[in-house]
Structure 1
Amino acid sequence: MLDINEILSILPHRYPFILVDRIIAFKKFTFLNAIKNISMNEPYFQGHFPQKPIYPGVLLLESMIQTTGILLYKSTNKKKLEKKIIYYVTGIDQAKFKKPAFPGDQIIIESILEKQKKLLFCFQSIAKINNKIICKAKIMCMKILK
């Protein structure tokens, strides 16, 4: 649905901090599903951990946050106006890590919009490998006018 070039046109992040590879499903103001492919080439595996590389939990949460950001952008994009709007993460609640991710894994991330109150958006985000939940969290974002 969206490839990496389109993702790069939405997110301000760049290598090595772009942590979403592809968008595979989207419904405006409802949900967005993304793919994050874990490759042994990624720089953090040099130190996390050299003998048994594991995708860092904080980066898994960031992948989930970036997926949420793409959902917000795709749902609210107004081209010219959008350049004056930015979304900031204001909270992460109930984050639970169930299983680790390793090089070679493909993570499917689903962000679901649960509610919106004025400028605050609340999401449920779920990360899965082989249809098994590896992490879930509630993510809150606030819309800020620059």
Structure 2
Amino acid sequence: MLGIKEIEEIIPHRHPFLLIDYIEDYKPGEYAVGYKCVTFREDFFRGHFPQEPVMPGVLTIEALAQVGAVAILSQEGFKGKTAFFGGINKCRFKGKVVPGDKLKLETKIIKQKGPMGIGQAIASVDGKVVAKAELTFMVG
């Protein structure tokens, strides 16, 4: 398990844009499973939407990418580097993420060639898929 300090040693994201609270399990270059405990105090809820707070879907995808970045950047050859988006494909949103949810974030690296690759990503709440996508990354 990795806490915030260990995550910050691997990826460059910081508050308020570090969107994962902890990594439950990971294998460098293969996969990572992390969580975001969504609270009403998240800044984005002030405007999205005040009458019905919903975590923006793009932030759910970003959280999945950050979990994937932990898997990629924890490899020996990529330590200290940054993983950038190269593309988002087959993205589907299947449910809302609201205050009080414990968002499970799973990203499996399905293809990698040098500094580029693809991760298969699934976000879920209480076992129900709320988003999934194929995320292309480039390490720079």
Range into which the TM-score falls when normalised by the shorter chain:
over 0.9
- Per the alignment, residue 77 of structure 1 pairs with 76
Once the two structures are TM-superposed, the CA of residue 9 in structure 1 deviates from its matched residue by: 2.0
Whole-Å Cα distance in 1 between the matches of residues 64 and 139 of structure 2?
18
SS at match of 1:65: helix
Once the two structures are TM-superposed, the CA of residue 117 in structure 1 deviates from its matched residue by: 2.1
Q: TM-score, normalised by structure 2?
A: 0.94
Whole-Å Cα distance in 2 between the matches of residues 86 and 69 of structure 1?
8
5+ unaligned residues in a row in structure 2: which ranges? none
* Paired residues for 1:68-107 under 5 Å: 68-74=68-74, 76-78=75-77, 82-83=79-80, 85-107=81-103
Q: 1:32 to 1:56 in 2, by over 3 A?
A: same
- Equivalent AA in structure 1 for residue 29 of structure 2: F
- Per the alignment, residue 119 of structure 1 pairs with 115
- Equivalent AA in structure 2 for residue 77 of structure 1: E
Whole-Å Cα distance in 2 between the matches of residues 43 and 54 of structure 1?
11
- Kept in 1, the 8 Å contact 2:30–2:72? The answer is no
How many aligned positions are there? 140
CA-based RMSD of the aligned residues comes to 1.3
Once the two structures are TM-superposed, the CA of residue 30 in structure 1 deviates from its matched residue by: 1.9
- Per the alignment, residue 132 of structure 2 pairs with 136
Once the two structures are TM-superposed, the CA of residue 142 in structure 1 deviates from its matched residue by: 1.3
Please identify the structure whose Cα radius of gyration is greater: 1
- Kept in 1, the 8 Å contact 2:11–2:82? The answer is no
Once the two structures are TM-superposed, the CA of residue 113 in structure 1 deviates from its matched residue by: 0.8
Whole-Å Cα distance in 2 between the matches of residues 77 and 101 of structure 1?
34
Whole-Å Cα distance in 1 between the matches of residues 9 and 29 of structure 2?
20
Whole-Å Cα distance in 1 between the matches of residues 24 and 121 of structure 2?
15
Q: 1:5 to 1:121 in 2, by over 3 A?
A: same
5+ unaligned residues in a row in structure 1: which ranges? none
Whole-Å Cα distance in 1 between the matches of residues 27 and 120 of structure 2?
15
Matched, 1:65 2:65: yes
**Identical pairs, percent:** 34
Q: 1:118 to 1:10 in 2, by over 3 A?
A: closer
